[in-house]
A and B are shown apart, each in its own frame.
Chain A
Amino acid sequence: MPDLSRWLNAHLWLVYVFLYAPILVLMGLSFNRAGMPTAWTGFSTAWYGKLIESPEITSAAFNTLIVASVSTVIATMLGTALALGVSRRRPSSALEALLFAPMIIPDIVLAIALLSFYTLLGFTLGLHSIILSHVVFNIAFVCAIVRTRLRHFDYSVVEASVDLGASEFTTFLRVTLPMIWPGVLAGALLAFTLSVDEFIIAYFTAGPGSSSTTLPMRIYAMIRFGVTPEINAMATIVMLFSFTLVLVSQRINKGTVTRS
C-alpha cells in the first residue's frame, strides 16, 4: 500500500520537525547579530566570542568538565564491576528493580534524598558532592549498558584463561575487559553526556557560592534575565557536544556486536 507508507513517512518527518525545529531555531539565533530574537539582522559569531570572554561561563564550563570526567571514571569502574558481579548471580527481579531504580527515580527526588543524606552526615557541599551524586545515577546507566554486552558472554573463556595459567586479575585484563570493552566505553560516554547536562541534582547538592557552579546551573542563573544570544550559543555548543558523544557511543557498541 504505497498510500499508507507515504502517510507514515510524512508522519515521521513531522515528528522530526517537532523534535528538532526549536533546536534549529535556537542554533540559528545564536548566529544572529542582533541581541533580540525578534529579528534577523545578519550572521555573526560575536556571541561565541563573548562566551569565551566571560570568566563566569568558562569557570562553570571547567567545573562541569571536572564533575563529568571524575564522576564518569568512578561510575564506569563501579558500574562495570557491578555488572560483572550481577551477571554471575542467579537472576532476581528484586535485585533487577534496585539496579534500575536510580535511572527512573525522578531527579528531584534523588536530589532531595542526596541533599538530606549529605546534611545528615554533616558532609560539606561543593564540587565533590556533585561528583558523588552523579556517580550514584551514572553507576546504574553504566551497569545497564555493560550488562547488555554480558548477556551473551560465554564464561567458559574466563575458565579457559585460568586453565591456561592466568590469574584472575590477568584474566580480567586480557580476556574479560577486552571482550566487554565496547560496552564499557559506550557506558562511559553516556555517563559523561548525562553528567554534562544534569541540572537538578547538581543544583541541590552544590555548595554555596560560585566555586561549584556547573554550566547548566550558570545557564539557569542567566536565563532569569531573559534568553540572550549568548545562552543560545552555549546551548548550541553543549548540544553538538552531547550529540557527538551519543553518536560515537552508539557506533562503538554496534560496531563490535557484529564482530564477536
Chain B
Amino acid sequence: MKRTAVVTRVINPAALIAEVTSVEVGAISVFLGTVRDTNDGRKVTGLDYSAYTSMAESELSGIADEAEARFGVHSLVVEHRVGELSLGEVSVAIVAAHQHREPAIECARFVIDEIKKRVPIWKREHYADGSRAWVDPTRATEATAL
C-alpha cells in the first residue's frame, strides 16, 4: 500500500501510523519534519510553503514508487503540508512499514532526501522583524545544510 499527498490541513502522525499498522509488519519508521524557530542565525516566527501542486504530487508518487521497489516496504504513506505553518507544526510526515527495521528506516531516509532534491515545494520564512524570505538551499552554508 502506498499513498502520497500534498495537503493544506494539519498532518496527524497518529492517523498515518494507524494507516500502515498491520500484523504483517514488525517495524514502522516515522520521519517528521517540523518548523523550528531559527535558521542561519535568524529568529524565525513562522513559515509558509507553496507548491507546484500537480508536479509535486507526481514527484512524491514517483519517489514512493522508487522507495517501494528499492526497500520492499509493506506500506508507505507520505504527506507534505503547504500553506502557513506555525512553529513546531509538522510540515512533512513519512511513515514506512516493513517486516524488519532496517529497510523501514532506510526507506524513510531515502524519501526525505529525495523530497529535498526534486519535489517542487518552496518555503518562505517569516522573521521577528516582519520580513519574509524564500529559503534557497543551494545558497545554504555548510552548517545550515546539515
A and B pair up: no
Using CB atoms and an 8 Å cutoff, list the residues of chain A in contact with chain B. none
